[in-house]
């Protein structure tokens, strides 16, 4: 049932080769592909010369008959074109020839960006997955990877029974003034990862009531990131932990909200990652 397409890729060892990558996944017919999406092995193929497993990010269609999901998964970097893509994919229903929704009126259509976006959606809409993964995602320890120097800041890794999720840490221009040296930067990223551990799109500890409250406060006291409530939370949490006096003066309501969360029990422990175990990201 699955469909593949050929893509040309170049490995960091210099070898150029053509590989088959999936463009259509029908969850009920290809359960092993669904598993590979969850584990992060999806669309990774070994370089014929050096055996390094390479990944390319391509658009693909994910279909789930049981939960009636029809999901266009676009590249992470395409998120800024959301409106145009929604029109092109959902309205005109283009993308993969021969796979049209004409006789599938009962499907719900979604547009997401990147594997993480798909997992976030599935954890809400795929009831069996929600049951099987929800609890372990909340109880298995999260790993924090903080990079030194000027590389990407790092990640928070969450793992369930089969699901592996990586959430990027951030230090944006707007907050660089709070960080005066490498030690301070590490501290910021540690606090940021704490915030992300509490509230993130895949496995949050804020219940509905707290989430409504958080978003009400965000409207009253706008922060740096108006788009994304999760990054805004993590960023704000880091600001709160770095310098509570300054934070209190700027954001009294956010501060009060965070004070209230301090006593909340977060079963998912946060641990530093053993850097020898860093997964190889490439492609
Ligand atoms: Zn290679």
Distance CA 17, CA 56 (A): 12
- Ligand 1 centre to CA of 174 (Å) is 39
- Ligand 1 centre to CA of 84 (Å) is 36
- Ligand 1 centre to CA of 46 (Å) is 8
pLDDT digits (tens, 9 = 90+) for 220-256: 999 887 778 999 999 999 999 999 999 999 999 999 9
Distance CA 261, CA 151 (A): 32
pLDDT digits (tens, 9 = 90+) for 53-63: 898 888 999 99
- Ligand 1 centre to CA of 153 (Å) is 26
H/E element holding 233? helix 229-242
- Ligand 1 centre to CA of 58 (Å) is 20
| 65 neighbors 100 (Cβ within 8 angstroms) | no
Domain residue ranges of the chain, discontinuous segments joined by +: 3-125, 136-272
- Ligand 1 centre to CA of 281 (Å) is 13
- Ligand 1 centre to CA of 256 (Å) is 52
| 5 neighbors 19 (Cβ within 8 angstroms) | no
Backbone angles phi, psi at 28, to 5 degrees: -70, -30
- How confident is the model over 46-57, as a mean pLDDT? 90
| pLDDT attached to residue 283 | 37
pTM, to two decimals:
0.83
| 24 neighbors 43 (Cβ within 8 angstroms) | no
- Ligand 1 centre to CA of 45 (Å) is 11
């Amino acid at each position: 049932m699955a469909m593949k397409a050929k893509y040309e890729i170049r490995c960091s060892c210099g070898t150029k080769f053509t590989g088959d990558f999936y463009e259509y996944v029908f969850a009920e017919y290809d359960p092993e592909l669904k598993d590979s999406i969850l584990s992060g092995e999806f669309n990774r193929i070994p370089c014929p010369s050096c055996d390094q497993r390479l990944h390319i990010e391509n658009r693909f269609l994910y279909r789930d008959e049981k939960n009636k999901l029809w999901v266009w998964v676009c590249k992470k970097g395409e998120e800024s074109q959301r409106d145009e893509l929604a029109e092109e994919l959902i309205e005109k229903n283009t993308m993969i020839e021969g796979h049209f929704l004409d006789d599938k009126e009962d499907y719900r259509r979604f547009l997401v960006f990147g594997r993480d976006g798909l997992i976030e959606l599935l954890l809400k809409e795929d009831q069996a997955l929600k049951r099987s993964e929800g609890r372990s995602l909340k109880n298995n320890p999260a790993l924090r990877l903080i990079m030194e120097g000027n590389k990407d800041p790092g990640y928070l890794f969450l793992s369930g029974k089969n699901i592996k999720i990586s959430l990027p840490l951030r230090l944006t221009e707007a907050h660089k003034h709070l960080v005066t040296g490498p030690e301070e930067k590490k501290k910021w990223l540690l606090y940021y990862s704490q915030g992300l551990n509490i509230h993130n799109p895949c496995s949050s500890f804020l219940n509905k009531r707290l989430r409504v409250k958080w978003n009400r406060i965000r409207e009253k006291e706008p922060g740096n990131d108006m788009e994304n409530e999760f990054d805004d939370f993590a960023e704000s949490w880091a600001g709160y932990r770095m310098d509570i006096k300054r934070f209190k003066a700027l954001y009294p309501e956010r501060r009060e909200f965070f004070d209230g969360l301090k006593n909340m029990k977060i079963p998912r422990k946060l641990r530093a990652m053993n850097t020898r175990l860093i997964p190889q990201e490439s492609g």
